[in-house]
Each structure stands twice: as structure tokens, then as C-alpha cells.
């Protein structure tokens, strides 16, 4: 297990290194300059600015300075946004994003598991049809369209929620809903497939042959066995939520990192774009690693064959 | 038992040829593809989706013919006109709007000549929305299809080479895909869009570049299985070249995987285009795509909701239809699931 | 001996895309207390469907067209689901075919073995775990106490089948149904499992229905044998009668295709394939593959002809008007050997 873990962490670091390098050089290729009112600046001013941000040094040197900084948690300084250090900019905006993301993931996966399980148990009935149709619609409707629809009907027309404002839990409901639908639909589809497989398996028949009623069989044997693999889609789900957060945070004016990312793109704020790219990759790789470890813990087949092996 | 009437001669042994006649298999045999298509035809949802998609594609293809006017023609005088059909008797297409509690005939206000109508209204620059949606759908579908092609062109060879060669090369190629897949693809797309100049080509490259991983993975796994099978072993023993084996034996056997995965790639490419255009780094103005239309529509959405409704509806219909069809295809080609 | 189970005129259809498959066509048999009945047939002959209908575990597209299954004077086919749940795993238990897939991969085996006891509230949890352990010892799991917490993947195939058997017998069932319990196992392990089942039958005094396609296994375990073909029983009798005085050409074919120590050269297979049960043939379903087929076989279904008090076969060859035919050489050799043994046995009893 520990050997496996070390290997995984090595790849994690390697991945982040590659991401950082690629991002750095891509940013250097980017057209346009980072300064908002460049037209008004004199050549001298530009030179001073470049010196201040270290942009006058050779590219390779800039690269190593940047990598060195990353090792100390120094993501550079934002060109915009009051010259804040990028890391602190990310940290101040992390809270709302994490809150909405976590809420959406919990709501989405729990409801998704429920929906998928019901669909599998009632396979090939109208219940299954409705559930399948709903999950395909859920996957199909882009989350930004959904966000705008929710905003229009529930906030603007019915005035049940604030339209676009970050103030208290109630303002997190609509963005959470907008983000949760895709994970919900994905989980439901995945869960249904797994559960149909499990319900067709021999051990479920044996469970019935033991005298378990239909519901006992589901509760004691089918649910656990079909839920274990669902853990594996947490990774893709996290990606989905990250993508969604960029627009959903914008639409609902939530001061999160997604909104920040879009803003930075609009203003050519390289250090922030780079910092956020690395941060997103870090988040994702860590989530995938944690999910893999978690999977090993909850699935006895992996857990035991890895640590002690067969007798 | 004894009272059963048995005709004389019944106890003669049967002649051999009746045996053979009776052993004939009477059911007609179907090939795998025929069987899959038969299953697909039985799936009403998939058939309806396919028809809807064909209609949308036809409309997009014929955009230059059926669009009432050029999608980029501006006429600020006619800006933000609501939808109107004919003389405005159909609810929702009256050309009137509720402004501060008063029903106002926008067409009259703007001085539009009698008889001239905009079926789906106009946008803030007075451009005909129907024409823009037709052209936008065309562009979005084109991007979806082109990006999927890029995805196929990278993913299939990558998967086949990785699976066919195996060993160290496979290990290396696997690591590469692992690393790429641990970067959120959205971020790669965004970064590429920043570096390349916004436009059709860069969107296609950016989406295609990040989308091929899943395809490569599936193809690799399948190739691994196929290469151990007898017909491939036989071809190898007979000294056929790897390229020939790939074309003659692998691709045909991979085709159902490819078809199904392609059907899942197209909607995600369409989604990415819409997404990029929505946050403003996709298709540059004045060209219309479903994404830019949505983005424009969202800005005036609270007061002129129709500008958002129609592009959103078209996008959703396309996405739902493709996904339903993909689902049907998967069921048809993979009856187990 | 009293009958513990009586199956009468059972007919079952399966609804498929292609139409109704007549999987079971008027099957009747009974199971006596304490005996082992083997049901033999090719795959698709309906033997598994028959026993699953006793368990009430038919697939959703199955439709019982007619017949009764009497257990303690009650028709199992009429029982509501709840009462069937109460019988399953306690009165009637089943051993499944594939030990590799029959155990829940995520539950410790001790808990899985104890589960029937807890469902039927036979005993409390502590006692149930104790019973589970003793049954695991009984079926020959070494170091059972320590291994109660292990998961299925930590056991070998043979051990897993022993665990599956432990689950079936843990509540001391009246009827034990074994659906090809040895098919997925190595030959040596097969023999062990058969011995184990015989021993267990003595210990817990149960009746066994043993399903197999392998006549070789039958000789070692069964008291009586029923041979199934195309959804029907075509011959049944005591195990000796089936082996040494078989009457149905299909039984001959089965015996002929069974390897024995005397087998020289290649094994004889039965030519052809079983009929399509979507549309079963009018006469004897075996006629197209039957080298001894008569004209009447394709016109009319043969009734059961009685051979002895315990032995019946459904073939027109037993009709007084039928021409007499000789079974294949291998079967004749087997019959001759048996008669010799019979004579010797008689001599032996006279001597003793």
C-alpha cells in the first residue's frame, strides 16, 4: 500500500510540474499585455513595470523563478485586483466555491444513487423510463442554461430566492441546484447500470434463496455492492463541478474562484490564470488520489488482496 | 395407453433424409450489425431522436436557403422586436410586449412596414433571430462534428498503437494520458483558446485536443482483447502487416465502440463551444453560434426572455436528441447493458 | 417412503422477443423423504427451470401455465411471496452452480452463512454465528473460527463451493436443491463435494434434488434418476435401472457419450441439437436426432410405458407393435456387465 502511495504521489507531483511548465510557456505565448491601461503608459513606465514584475529577464530565468516560487507557495502577484498575491486571492475566494461544490456533490450523488437504484429495481417499467429520461435530460441541458432558467423562474418571476447575490445560505440554493443536476444525472445512470448488473448476479439470487424478501435483498446485498463503484465517478464529477462553477458563479455573482478565473481571463491577468490552473489541477489530482485510496478502503477485494493476500 | 389409435405402418423406421430435413435451422440468421439495427429500430425514443436530429441538421444545412435574411444584417431601428407571425394572432408571436403593465405593439412603435415580420424577433442590433439561430446551429453542429473528427484522428490511432504494441511504449503512452486526464480539460481548452486566436479552428483544435483521451482508452482496452483472438493471431501468423491488420481486422471490430463513443463526444463538443462562447472566448462577433446567441440572450434575459429561449431550446433539443440516440445505439450494439 | 414433494403436470413458458418459449412441458415427478433424485439433461432441457420453480425463483418473464408443486399438502405455486420467503432458505434450500459468483463479494463469509438463520429468526445472532462456524467446520473449511471474518475472494473455488453448501444447509432444510454444484469445479474437488453432500445428507436427514448434465456424477450420489429432454421428463427410474436397463434412445445416447474405464477410441456424441422450444415439434421431440426413430415419432408424442414398478420411459420403442432394436454397443456392454454383477450378487447372497 505505502509503495503504491509513494508512486501515486510521485505522479501527482510530476503532473503538477508539467501543468505548471506548460501553463507558464503558454501564457508567454499569449497575445496582449497584462497592463490595463497600457496605451496611456510611456516607454519608461512600461520598462519600470516590466522590471517590477520581472518581465524583463530572459524567459528561462523567469521560468525558474516562477517554479521556485511555487515551491514556497508563491504563485506570483496578480497584475489586477490590487496587486494581491495570487495565493491569497485564491484563498479568500475558495470558501463559496467549496461550499457550493460540496453541496452540489452531496445532493447530486445522494439523489443520483436513489434515482439510479429505483430505476434498476423497477427496470423496464415506466419508473425506469422516467428516471432514464430525466437523467438524459439532466446530462443534456448545459448547466449555464439551467442556471439562467432557475434564475429567471425561481428568483426573478417567483422571487423565492435572491437573483444574484452572495448573502447567506439561501443564496447558495439556486447555484447548488444548477450545479447538482449534472452529477445527479450521471450518478443515476452509473448507479442504474451497476445495480442492474448486481441484481442479475448469482449472489443476489442466492440472497433470495436464503429467504430474503426483495427489499431485504436490496438493502443487505445489492445497494452496497452497486454503490462501491460509484465512488470512482467522484473524480469526473469534480471536473464537472469545476467547469460548471465558472459560469454558474458568474451568473449568480458568487465571489468564488470560478468567477475569479473568468475575470482573470477577461483581463489577461497571467499570474492569476496560471495560479488558478495549477490550483485546479492540484485539487483534481488530489481528489482522484483520495478517491482511489477510499475505493481501496471500502472494497474488501482491493483492501485485503493488497495488504495481506489470500491465506 | 392401449386405446390410442395407431395407424398401421406407424412403426416403420424413419428414412434418413427426413432426419436431415428436420434438423434444418429454420430461423434466418442475422449479422451483428443487422441485429443491432433491428434493436435500434425497435427503440422508439432513439428513432424519434434520430428524426429530430435529421430535421435540425437539414435546417442547419439549408440555412442559406431558408433563413429570411442574412444573420449579420443590422438594423438598429428594428432592435429588440418580439416574435411575430403573420398578422400577430398566434399567442406568443403577437409582436406585442408588456411594458410597465401596458401592452405595446413594438412593430408599430419601430415603424416596421405592414407585412414584415420577424418570426422569432430581433436582437439588440435588429438582427433577425431566426436567421441567427439557423446559422448558429449550423456553426455549432459543424464545430461538434469537426472536433469529434479531431478526437477520432488522435484517439483511434493512439489507442490502437498503445494496445497493439503493448510493453514499454504502452506504459509510456498510458502515463501520458494519465497526466493529461488529470488536468481539468476545461482549463486546457481555456488556455489553448487564450493562446490561439478565437475562432472556429482554434475551438475545434482545443476541444479535439482534450477530448480524445476517453476514446484512446476504450480503443486500447479493446485492442488488447482483440489482439489475443484467433482471427488476429491467424492474420499475424500469415505475416500480414500491422497496418493491414489494423484496417482489416481491428477497425471493423472496434466500430461499435467508435460509433457509440463518437455519439457521446459530439454533444460534449457542442457543449464546450457553447460554454466558451458563453464566457466570451469562443466564436468572435459578429458570427453566430448557439453559444454566442445564449451569451447575448442572457444579458437581456430578464426583460427580453425570448432572445434566450429560442437558442436555449435549440441547444437543449440537440443535446437531448444526441444523448438519447447515443443511449439507444449503445443498447443496440451492446445488448448486455 | 412418503413423498415430501410432488410435482404434477408443471408447464412453464418464457416470454421472449421471439415469442413464447415452452421451457417446461407437462413435467411430473415426486421426491421421497430422505432420497436423492437426480435430474439429468443437456443445457436447455429445463432442469434448472424446474427446480427454480420449486424455489419460486423464476425469472420475471416466466409464466407458469399449469400444474402444482405440493409440499406438505400445500401448493407452492399458489403461495404468496411472503410465505415463500419463509420457506426459502429454511425448509427448501438451494446450492448454486458457480461458487465464484454466488457469494456476496463484500460481506464476510461468517455473516453470509449465518444470514438464513437470522432471516428466519431460528436463533439469535450469537447462536447463529456459532452455528455458522460449526457448519463451516462440517463442510470442511479448515480453521473456520478464524476465517469467519474473511471475504469470499480469499478462498479457493472448492472452498467457496463448500461455503455455498454451508449456506444451504445451515438451517437444516427438508429439501436441498443442488443445481450442478460440481460443474464449475476440478474433477478431484468434484468428488470431494459429492462425498460431502452424501455425508451431510446422512447428518441432517434431508432430501436432495441433484441437477446435472453429467451422468457420471449421478451414479455416485442418486437413488433415482429422471432424464429430461426438451422440457419433458422422458425416462425415470432407480439409478440402476437407468444405468443398466435404459429404454429411451436419448438415455442410450447420454450413456454412450459418457466416458468410462472401458471406453476405447473416441466418445460418441449425440448428433444434432435440441429442438427450438419456441415451436416444439409435434411428435417425439427427440425424433430428429434419434437414429431409432419410427414414423409415429414424428406424428404422435409417446406416452410413458411402464418398464418396472419404478421405471418408466416415454418412447414408442416400448410399444408392443414396435420393431425390437438393439441399444448401441457401449450401452449393451454396460448392461451385460450389470447382469453379470446381479448374478454374482445373487450367488453371493446364497453363499452368505
For residues B55-75, give the mean pLDDT: 82
Hey, is the C-beta of A174 within 8 angstroms of any chain B C-beta?
Answer: no
Q: Is A211 close to C89, i.e. CB distance below 8 A? A: yes
What b/e readout covers C236-255, taking b as 16+ CB neighbours within 10 angstroms? bbbbbbbbbbbbbbbbbbbb
Q: Is B320 close to A137, i.e. CB distance below 8 A? A: yes
pLDDT at C20 over 70: yes
Cell numbers that stand for C277 in this block: 422450444
Hey, is the C-beta of B278 within 8 angstroms of any chain A C-beta?
Answer: yes
Nearest chain C Cα to A206, which residue? C102
Q: Is C295 close to B14, i.e. CB distance below 8 A? A: yes
Of residues B228 and C201, more confidently modeled: C201
Cβ distance A163 to A151 under 8 Å? yes
Of residues A130 and C347, more confidently modeled: A130
Domain layout of chain B by residue ranges? 44-70+128-333
Nearest to C159 by CA among C109, C90, C213: C109
**Beta strand B102-105 with B96-99: parallel, antiparallel or unpaired?**
antiparallel
- Chain B partners of C305 at a C-beta cutoff of 8 Å? 1
pLDDT at C332 over 80: yes
Q: Which CATH superfamily is domain B44-70+128-333 in?
A: MetI-like (1.10.3720.10)
| pLDDT at residue number B6 | 67
- Chain C partners of A213 at a C-beta cutoff of 8 Å? 81-82, 85
| pLDDT at residue number C352 | 43
pLDDT at B1 over 50: no
Q: Which of A12, A136, A262 sits opposite B279 (nearest CB)?
A: A262
Instruction: List alpha helices for chain B, DSSP H.
Output: 16-23, 32-42, 44-61, 63-66, 106-109, 129-165, 167-181, 185-195, 200-227, 230-237, 242-245, 251-278, 290-299, 306-333
- Chain A partners of B185 at a C-beta cutoff of 8 Å? 239
- Does residue B75 have a cis bond before it (omega within 30 degrees)? no
Hey, is the C-beta of A304 within 8 angstroms of any chain C C-beta?
Answer: yes
Mean pLDDT of chain B: 80
Q: Is B301 close to A246, i.e. CB distance below 8 A? A: no
pLDDT band at A306 (very low <50, low <70, confident <90, very high): very low
Tens digits of per-residue pLDDT, B148-175? Answer: 898 889 999 999 999 888 888 988 898 8
In angstroms, the CA B198 to CA B26 distance is: 61
Nearest to A54 by CA among A74, A72, A39: A74
| pLDDT at residue number B227 | 80
In angstroms, the CA B312 to CA C329 distance is: 80
For residues A243-255, give the mean pLDDT: 87
Cβ distance C29 to C41 under 8 Å? no
Hey, is the C-beta of B279 within 8 angstroms of any chain A C-beta?
Answer: yes
Please give the interface size between B and C, counted as residue pairs whose CB atoms are below 8 Å apart. Answer: 52
Q: Is B14 close to C321, i.e. CB distance below 8 A? A: no
| pLDDT at residue number B337 | 45
pLDDT at B330 over 90: no
- Chain B partners of C316 at a C-beta cutoff of 8 Å? 10-11
For residues B303-312, give the mean pLDDT: 83
Cβ distance A190 to A230 under 8 Å? yes
pLDDT band at C346 (very low <50, low <70, confident <90, very high): low
β-strand partners of B212: none
| pLDDT at residue number A110 | 93
In angstroms, the CA C22 to CA C65 distance is: 10
| pLDDT at residue number A303 | 58
Cβ distance B123 to B310 under 8 Å? no
Tens digits of per-residue pLDDT, C230-271? Answer: 899 999 999 989 988 899 989 988 888 877 666 666 667 777
Q: Is the dihedral of CA C163, C165, C170, C171 positive or negative?
A: positive
Domain layout of chain A by residue ranges? 86-310
- Chain B partners of A269 at a C-beta cutoff of 8 Å? none
Q: Any long-range contacts for B259-264 (C-beta under 8 Å, 24+ apart)?
A: B259/B329, B259/B333, B260/B326, B260/B329, B260/B330, B260/B333, B260/B334, B261/B214, B261/B215, B261/B218, B262/B148, B262/B151, B262/B152, B263/B322, B263/B325, B263/B326, B263/B329, B263/B330, B264/B323, B264/B326
Percentage of chain C beyond pLDDT 70 is 95
Please give the interface size between A and B, counted as residue pairs whose CB atoms are below 8 Å apart. Answer: 105
pLDDT at A213 over 80: yes
Of residues C220 and B113, more confidently modeled: C220
pLDDT band at A205 (very low <50, low <70, confident <90, very high): very high
How many whole angstroms from its chain centre is CA B278?
20
pLDDT band at C11 (very low <50, low <70, confident <90, very high): very high
In angstroms, the CA A23 to CA A46 distance is: 24
Mutate to test the interface with A, among C105, C114, C172 (most CBs of A within 10 A): C105
Domain A86-310 belongs to what topology?
Answer: MetI-like fold (1.10.3720)
Nearest chain B Cα to A129, which residue? B45
| pLDDT at residue number A172 | 84
Percentage of chain C beyond pLDDT 90 is 40
Q: Is B187 close to A277, i.e. CB distance below 8 A? A: yes
Hey, is the C-beta of A210 within 8 angstroms of any chain C C-beta?
Answer: yes
- Chain A partners of C164 at a C-beta cutoff of 8 Å? 206
Q: Which chains touch C (3 or more CB pairs under 8 A)?
A: A, B
Lowest-pLDDT range, A10-19, A122-131, B66-75, C325-334? B66-75
pLDDT at B334 over 60: yes
Mean pLDDT of chain C: 87
Tens digits of per-residue pLDDT, C80-107? Answer: 989 999 999 899 999 988 888 999 999 9
Q: Which of B175, B298, B337 sits opposite A193 (nearest CB)?
A: B337
Q: Which of A11, A145, A280 sits opposite B178 (nearest CB)?
A: A11
Please give the interface size between A and C, counted as residue pairs whose CB atoms are below 8 Å apart. Answer: 87
Mutate to test the interface with C, among A204, A211, A222 (most CBs of C within 10 A): A211
In angstroms, the CA C215 to CA C231 distance is: 18
pLDDT at C350 over 70: no
- In Å, how far are A63, A260, A271, B104, B191 from A74, measured between CA atoms? 13, 18, 10, 59, 21
Q: Is B4 close to C303, i.e. CB distance below 8 A? A: yes
- Chain B partners of A29 at a C-beta cutoff of 8 Å? 195
| pLDDT at residue number A179 | 92
| pLDDT at residue number C12 | 92
pLDDT band at C71 (very low <50, low <70, confident <90, very high): very high
Percentage of chain B beyond pLDDT 70 is 89
**Beta strand C74-75 with C19-32: parallel, antiparallel or unpaired?**
unpaired
β-strand partners of C225: C38, C237
- Chain A partners of C94 at a C-beta cutoff of 8 Å? 206, 209
| pLDDT at residue number A33 | 60
Cβ distance B71 to B128 under 8 Å? yes
Domain layout of chain C by residue ranges? 1-91+174-352, 102-172
In angstroms, the CA C67 to CA C62 distance is: 14
Of residues A39 and C5, more confidently modeled: C5
Q: Is C295 close to B26, i.e. CB distance below 8 A? A: no
Give the list of residues 6+ apart from residue B161 with CB closer than 8 angstroms, or none. Answer: B169, B173
Order of strands across the sheet that contains C92-95: C92-95, C175-179, C207-212, C36-40, C224-229, C232-238, C312-313, C305-306
Cβ distance C198 to C217 under 8 Å? no
Closest CA–CA distance from residue B234 to any residue of chain C (Å): 28
pLDDT at C141 over 70: yes
Mean pLDDT of chain A: 83
- In Å, how far are A104, A105, B45, B110 from A115, measured between CA atoms? 16, 15, 20, 51
Give the three-state DSSP class for C158.
Answer: helix
Share of chain A residues as helix, strand and coil, in percent rounded to the nearest 5: 80, 0, 20
Helix (H) or strand (E) holding C226: strand C224-229
Give the three-state DSSP class for C154.
Answer: helix
Cβ distance A146 to A220 under 8 Å? no
pLDDT at A16 over 80: yes
Cell numbers that stand for B202 in this block: 482554434
Cell numbers that stand for A234 in this block: 467522484
pLDDT at A82 over 70: no
Helix (H) or strand (E) holding C26: strand C19-32
Tens digits of per-residue pLDDT, C277-307? Answer: 888 878 888 888 888 888 888 888 888 999 9
In angstroms, the CA B9 to CA B58 distance is: 70
- Chain B partners of A262 at a C-beta cutoff of 8 Å? 279
| pLDDT at residue number B210 | 78
Hey, is the C-beta of C47 within 8 angstroms of any chain A C-beta?
Answer: no
In angstroms, the CA B43 to CA B37 distance is: 10
Q: Which chains touch B (3 or more CB pairs under 8 A)?
A: A, C
In angstroms, the CA B147 to CA B165 distance is: 27
In angstroms, the CA C169 to CA C147 distance is: 19
First to last CA, chain C: 28
Hey, is the C-beta of A33 within 8 angstroms of any chain C C-beta?
Answer: no
- In Å, how far are A114, A187, A191, B279, C83 from A110, measured between CA atoms? 6, 8, 11, 30, 34
pLDDT at C349 over 60: no
| pLDDT at residue number A305 | 45
For residues A56-73, give the mean pLDDT: 82
Q: Cell numbers 473416441 correspond to what residue?
A: C266
Q: Which of C18, C288, C296 sits opposite B23 (nearest CB)?
A: C288
Stretch 224-243 of chain A: residues touching chain C, C-beta under 8 Å: 224-225, 228
Give the three-state DSSP class for C34.
Answer: coil
| pLDDT at residue number C290 | 83
- In Å, how far are A307, C223, C237, C334, C340 from C346, measured between CA atoms? 63, 21, 22, 19, 10
Q: Cell numbers 503532473 correspond to what residue?
A: A15
Lowest-pLDDT range, B207-211, B307-311, C171-175, C340-344? C340-344
- Chain A partners of B280 at a C-beta cutoff of 8 Å? 266
pLDDT band at C167 (very low <50, low <70, confident <90, very high): very high
Tens digits of per-residue pLDDT, B196-217? Answer: 777 888 888 888 877 888 889 8
For residues A276-286, give the mean pLDDT: 86
Nearest chain B Cα to C296, which residue? B10
Hey, is the C-beta of A39 within 8 angstroms of any chain C C-beta?
Answer: no
Q: Is C85 close to A213, i.e. CB distance below 8 A? A: yes
Tens digits of per-residue pLDDT, A254-275? Answer: 898 988 888 888 887 878 888 8
Q: Which CATH superfamily is domain C1-91+174-352 in?
A: P-loop containing nucleotide triphosphate hydrolases (3.40.50.300)
Q: Which of A213, A221, A299 sits opposite C104 (nearest CB)?
A: A221
Closest CA–CA distance from residue B220 to any residue of chain C (Å): 28
Q: Which of A167-176, B3-12, B302-311, C242-251 has the highest mean pLDDT?
A: C242-251
ipTM, interface predicted TM-score of the complex: 0.84
Give the list of residues 6+ apart from residue B90 with CB closer than 8 angstroms, or none. Answer: none
Q: Any long-range contacts for A87-95 (C-beta under 8 Å, 24+ apart)?
A: A87/A275, A89/A260, A89/A272, A89/A275, A90/A257, A90/A260, A90/A275, A90/A276, A90/A279, A93/A255, A93/A256, A93/A257, A93/A259, A93/A260, A94/A256, A94/A257, A95/A256
**Beta strand B96-99 with C19-32: parallel, antiparallel or unpaired?**
unpaired
- In Å, how far are A147, A150, A156, A178 from B302, measured between CA atoms? 13, 12, 8, 18
**Beta strand C19-32 with C3-16: parallel, antiparallel or unpaired?**
antiparallel
Amino acid at each position: 500500500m505505502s509503495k503504491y502511495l509513494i508512486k501515486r504521489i510521485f505522479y501527482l507531483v510530476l503532473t503538477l510540474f508539467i501543468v505548471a511548465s506548460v501553463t507558464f510557456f503558454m501564457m508567454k505565448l499569449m497575445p496582449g499585455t497584462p497592463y490595463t491601461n497600457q496605451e496611456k503608459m510611456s516607454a519608461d513606465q512600461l520598462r519600470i513595470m516590466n522590471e517590477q514584475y520581472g518581465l524583463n529577464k530572459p524567459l528561462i530565468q523567469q521560468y525558474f523563478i516562477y517554479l521556485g516560487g511555487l515551491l514556497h507557495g508563491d504563485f506570483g502577484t496578480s497584475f489586477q485586483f490590487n496587486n494581491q498575491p495570487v495565493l491569497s486571492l485564491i484563498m479568500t475566494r475558495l470558501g463559496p466555491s467549496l461550499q457550493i461544490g460540496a453541496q452540489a456533490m452531496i445532493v447530486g450523488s445522494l439523489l443520483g444513487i436513489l434515482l439510479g437504484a429505483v430505476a434498476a429495481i423497477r427496470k423496464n417499467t415506466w419508473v425506469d423510463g422516467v428516471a432514464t429520461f430525466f437523467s438524459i435530460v439532466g446530462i443534456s441541458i448545459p448547466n449555464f442554461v439551467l442556471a439562467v432558467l432557475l434564475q429567471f423562474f425561481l428568483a426573478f418571476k417567483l422571487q423565492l430566492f435572491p437573483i444574484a447575490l452572495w448573502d447567506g445560505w439561501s443564496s447558495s440554493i439556486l447555484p447548488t441546484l444548477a450545479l447538482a443536476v449534472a452529477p445527479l444525472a450521471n450518478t443515476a445512470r452509473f448507479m442504474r447500470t451497476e445495480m442492474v448488473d448486481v441484481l442479475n448476479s448469482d449472489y443476489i439470487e442466492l440472497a433470495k434463496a436464503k429467504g430474503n424478501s426483495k427489499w431485504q435483498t436490496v438493502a443487505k446485498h445489492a445497494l452496497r455492492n452497486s454503490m462501491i463503484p460509484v465512488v470512482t465517478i467522484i473524480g469526473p464529477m469534480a471536473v464537472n463541478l469545476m467547469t460548471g462553477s465558472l459560469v454558474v458563479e458568474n451568473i449568480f455573482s458568487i465571489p468564488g474562484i470560478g468567477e475569479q478565473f473568468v475575470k482573470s481571463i477577461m483581463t489577461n491577468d497571467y499570474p492569476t490564470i496560471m495560479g488558478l490552473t495549477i490550483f485546479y489541477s492540484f485539487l483534481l489530482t488530489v481528489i482522484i488520489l483520495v478517491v482511489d485510496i477510499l475505493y481501496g478502503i471500502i472494497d474488501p477485494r482491493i483492501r485485503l488482496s493488497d495488504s495481506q493476500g489470500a491465506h | 395407453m392401449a386405446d390410442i389409435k395407431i395407424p398401421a405402418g406407424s412403426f416403420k423406421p424413419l428414412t434418413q433424409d427426413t432426419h436431415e430435413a428436420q434438423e434444418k435451422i429454420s430461423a434466418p440468421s442475422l449479422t451483428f450489425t443487422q441485429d443491432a439495427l433491428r434493436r435500434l429500430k425497435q427503440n422508439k425514443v432513439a428513432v424519434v431522436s434520430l428524426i429530430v436530429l435529421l430535421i435540425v441538421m437539414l435546417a442547419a444545412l439549408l440555412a442559406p436557403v431558408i433563413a429570411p435574411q442574412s444573420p449579420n444584417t443590422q438594423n438598429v431601428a428594428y432592435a429588440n422586436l418580439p416574435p411575430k407571425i403573420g398578422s400577430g394572432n398566434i399567442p406568443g408571436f403577437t409582436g406585442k410586449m408588456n411594458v410597465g403593465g401596458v401592452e405595446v405593439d413594438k412593430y408599430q412603435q419601430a415603424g416596421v412596414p405592414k407585412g414584415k415580420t420577424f418570426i422569432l424577433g430581433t436582437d439588440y442590433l435588429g438582427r433577425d433571430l431566426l436567421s441567427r439561430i439557423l446559422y448558429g446551429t449550423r456553426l455549432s453542429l459543424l464545430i461538434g462534428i469537426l472536433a469529434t473528427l479531431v478526437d477520432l484522428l488522435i484517439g483511434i490511432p493512439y489507442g490502437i498503437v498503445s494496445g497493439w504494441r503493448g510493453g514499454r511504449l504502452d506504459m509510456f503512452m498510458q502515463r501520458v494520458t494519465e497526466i493529461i486526464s488529470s488536468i481539468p480539460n476545461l482549463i486546457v481548452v481555456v488556455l489553448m483558446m487564450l493562446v490561439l486566436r478565437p475562432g472556429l479552428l482554434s475551438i475545434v483544435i482545443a476541444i479535439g485536443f482534450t477530448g480524445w483521451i476517453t476514446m484512446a482508452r476504450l480503443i486500447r482496452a479493446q485492442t488488447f482483447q482483440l489482439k489475443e483472438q484467433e482471427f488476429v493471431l491467424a492474420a499475424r501468423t500469415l505475416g500480414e502487416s500491422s497496418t493491414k491488420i489494423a484496417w482489416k481486422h481491428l477497425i471493423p471490430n472496434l466500430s461499435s465502440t467508435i460509433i457509440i463513443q463518437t455519439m457521446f463526444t459530439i454533444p460534449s463538443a457542442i457543449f464546450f463551444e457553447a460554454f466558451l462562447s458563453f464566457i466570451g472566448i469562443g466564436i468572435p462577433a459578429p458570427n453566430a453560434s448557439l453559444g454566442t446567441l445564449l451569451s447575448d440572450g442572457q444579458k437581456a434575459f430578464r426583460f427580453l426572455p425570448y432572445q434566450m429561449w429560442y437558442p436555449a431550446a435549440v441547444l437543449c433539443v440537440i443535446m437531448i436528441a444526441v444523448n438519447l440516440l447515443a443511449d439507444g445505439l449503445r443498447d443496440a450494439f451492446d445488448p448486455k447493458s | 417412503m412418503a413423498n415430501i414433494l410432488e410435482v404434477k403436470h408443471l408447464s412453464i413458458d418464457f416470454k421472449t422477443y421471439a415469442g413464447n418459449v415452452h421451457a417446461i412441458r407437462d413435467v411430473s415427478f415426486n421426491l421421497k423423504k430422505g432420497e436423492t433424485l437426480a435430474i439429468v439433461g443437456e443445457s436447455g432441457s429445463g432442469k434448472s427451470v424446474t427446480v427454480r420453480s420449486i424455489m419460486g425463483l423464476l425469472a420475471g418473464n416466466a409464466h407458469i401455465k399449469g400444474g402444482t408443486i405440493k409440499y406438505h399438502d400445500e401448493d407452492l405455486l399458489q403461495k404468496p411471496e411472503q410465505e415463500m420467503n419463509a420457506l426459502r432458505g429454511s425448509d427448501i434450500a438451494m446450492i448454486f452452480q458457480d461458487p465464484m459468483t454466488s457469494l456476496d463479494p463484500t460481506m464476510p463469509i461468517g455473516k453470509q452463512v449465518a444470514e438464513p438463520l437470522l432471516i428466519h429468526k431460528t436463533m439469535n445472532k450469537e447462536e447463529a454465528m456459532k452455528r455458522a462456524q460449526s457448519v463451516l467446520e462440517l463442510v470442511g473449511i479448515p480453521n473456520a473460527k478464524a476465517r469467519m471474518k474473511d471475504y469470499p475472494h480469499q478462498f479457493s473455488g472448492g472452498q467457496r463451493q463448500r461455503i455455498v453448501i454451508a449456506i444451504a444447509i445451515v438451517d437444516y432444510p427438508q429439501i436441498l436443491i443442488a443445481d450442478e454444484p460440481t460443474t464449475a469445479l476440478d474433477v478431484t474437488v468434484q468428488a470431494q463435494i459429492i462425498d460431502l453432500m452424501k455425508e451431510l445428507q446422512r447428518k441432517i436427514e434431508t432430501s436432495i434434488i441433484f441437477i446435472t448434465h453429467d451422468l457420471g456424477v449421478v451414479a455416485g450420489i442418486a437413488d433415482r434418476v429422471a432424464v429430461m429432454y426438451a422440457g419433458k421428463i422422458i425416462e425415470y427410474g432407480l439409478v440402476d435401472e437407468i444405468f443398466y436397463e435404459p429404454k429411451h434412445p436419448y438415455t442410450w445416447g447420454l450413456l454412450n457419450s459418457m466416458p468410462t474405464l472401458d471406453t476405447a477410441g473416441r466418445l460418441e456424441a449425440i448428433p444434432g441439437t435440441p429442438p427450438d422450444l419456441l415451436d416444439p415439434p409435434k411428435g417425439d421431440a427427440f425424433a430428429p436426432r434419434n437414429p431409432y426413430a419410427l414414423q409415429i415419432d414424428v406424428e404422435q408424442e409417446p406416452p410413458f410405458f411402464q418398464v418396472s414398478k419404478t421405471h418408466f420411459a416415454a418412447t414408442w420403442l416400448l410399444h408392443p407393435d414396435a420393431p425390437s432394436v438393439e441399444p448401441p454397443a457401449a450401452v449393451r456392454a454396460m448392461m451385460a456387465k450389470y447382469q453379470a454383477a446381479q448374478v454374482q450378487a445373487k450367488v453371493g447372497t446364497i453363499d452368505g
